[in-house]
Structure 1
Amino acid sequence: MKKIFLLIAVVLGLVATKVNAQQQPIRFGIRAGANLAEWQGETVNSVQDLMEFTNGSVSRQMREGFHVGGYLTIPVAPGFEIEPGLQYSQKGMKLTGKIPMEGVEFLNAGVTLTNKADYIDVPVLAKVYIGEGFNIFGGPQVSYLLSNKIQAEAGAFGINALNREWDMKSGFRELDVAISGGVGYRFVNGFNISAGYDYGLTSVDANNNFDTFNRVIKASVGYTF
């Protein structure tokens, strides 16, 4: 992990030296958008087995969330920029299931378990422009786990009979490393849109009992000042 932070620091140092030599302005921006998060790995495989065992009465879903933060746009060469950022991001996953009660299926009784993991993301992205404003980007991302909670909901007829939440941070890894990438478009006035994907490389389990990784689809809008 120290090597990753050192590599990021070296890259930013080299970029800053290059920018100062070219006297190019560094610009600041803000960004926000929607997340669709899930897990992939051994835990998900177990869920798939459970779905088959229960004839599909249990289903896995993506957790809906959001991200918001800021970034720096550091020009290195024509059509090429480095973009370090800092943002709050909601991740996790969701399981939903029907309560098996013969003869009273009309109650539509169900249970939902949601893993609500909140992170601070620090991406360092290389951005290449193709044409006027279209760009592709990618690079490493280090994330710090702020909180991790499990929410349990149960009810029938659309009415919640149970809504409980408890902390689960102690069993999860605080630092998460991922590769982030995507495509975007920046308009002349600084407004920009993008779609990206975070591919987690480190297991969320702090005790290495199972290999399960964060996966996040992101859609963003932003503005570069």
Structure 2
Amino acid sequence: MKKTIKLMLCAVLLGVMTINAQEKQKGIEFGIKAGANLTEFRNTSSKFKIGIMGGVFSQYRLSEKLAIRSEILYSAQGAKSKNSSGKIKLNYINVLPAIIKFYPINKLSLEAGPQVGYLLGGKGTGFVKSNFKKIDYGVALGIGYSLTDNLEIGIRYNLGFADITKENSTSLKNSVFQAGLSFKL
């Protein structure tokens, strides 16, 4: 796990250094992103749980209508039980390597792309880390609106495809709604 975290941090630093070196070039942007999650497990009788998310991004404008964004985000996910007061919180590092952003009109963007998550840990009723898979993957779909040249608000749905448990009797898949602010540096 430590090697994976170090590798992710090296990738982020390399990306930031590359972007800083090319900062003067037209079309390259980078910044920070933060917001809230509303999460649950699909295929179960769970209720939504509120969490936080935040991290860094880089974005390359291919044209006036098209951009590619990469993000590395901390994401607090999980769910509450409908039948009891129990809840599970899962801490992920989510990597979105190539979100395609389409701008149909000037300030509005539609986005879609793959997502890979790495489970850092968790806590809650019945949580045992060894019962959960380290890797989650899925697709992210969203919409954004530029409030200013540097500030964007957005909502996104992350649909998990992977069963995140190692148990054969249970199939848990992440379902995450996100609302966040992106600030371009």
- TM-score, structure 2 as length reference: 0.81
| In 2, Cα distance between equivalents of 1:118 and 1:212 | 15
Q: Deviations over 1:66-101 (max 9, x none)?
A: 10111001112221000001010011110154xxxx
Sequence identity of aligned pairs in percent?
A: 28
Query: What does residue 35 of structure 2 align with?
Result: 33
Indicate whether 1:136 and 2:136 are aligned: no
- The aligned amino acid for 1:71 is F
Matched, 1:145 2:119: yes
Indicate the RMSD between aligned Cα atoms, in angstroms.
1.9
Report SS of the residue matched to 2:105. coil
Which consecutive residues of structure 2, in runs of 5 or more, have no partner in the other structure? 1-17
Question: Aligned to 2:90, which of 117, 121, 139?
Answer: 117
- How far is the alpha carbon of 1:207 from its aligned partner? 4.4
One of 59, 65, 69 as aligned partner of 1:73: 59
1:91 aligns with 2:77: yes
Residue pair 2:99, 2:112 contacting (<8 A) in 1 also: yes
The CA deviation string for residues 108-164 of structure 1, in whole angstroms up to 9 with x for no partner, is xxx51111101000012100012111000010000000002224xxxxxxxxxxxxx
Match of 1:205 among 140, 161, 165: 165
Name the counterpart of 1:191.
151
CA pair 193-145 structure 1, distance change in 2 beyond 3 A: same
Partner of 1:51: none
Match of 2:136 among 151, 176, 196: 176
Q: Residues of 1 paired with 2:132 and 2:60: CA distance? A: 34
- Structure 1 moving runs of 4+ over 4 Å: none
Question: Residues 167, 211 of structure 1: CA spacing in aligned structure 2 closer, same or farther, 3 A cutoff?
Answer: closer
Larger-gyration structure (1/2)? 1
Unaligned runs of 5+ in 1: 1-15, 48-59, 98-110, 152-165
**2:5 corresponds to:** none
In structure 2, what is the Cα distance between the partners aligned to 1:208 and 1:75?
Answer: 44
- Structure 1 counterpart of 2:99, one-letter code: L
Report how far residue 208 of structure 1 moved.
Answer: 4.4
Amino acid in the other structure paired with 1:173: K
Counterpart Cα distance in 1 of 2:82 and 2:147: 41
Aligned to 2:176, the other structure's residue is in SS state: strand
Counterpart CA distance in 2 for 1:220 and 1:188 is 15
Identify which range, 67-76 or 200-209, moves more after superposition: 200-209
Give the count of matched residue pairs. 162
Whichever structure has more helix as a proportion of its residues is: 1
CA contact (8 A) 2:39 2:174 kept: yes
Structure 1 residues 116 and 178: CA distance shift in structure 2, 3 A: same
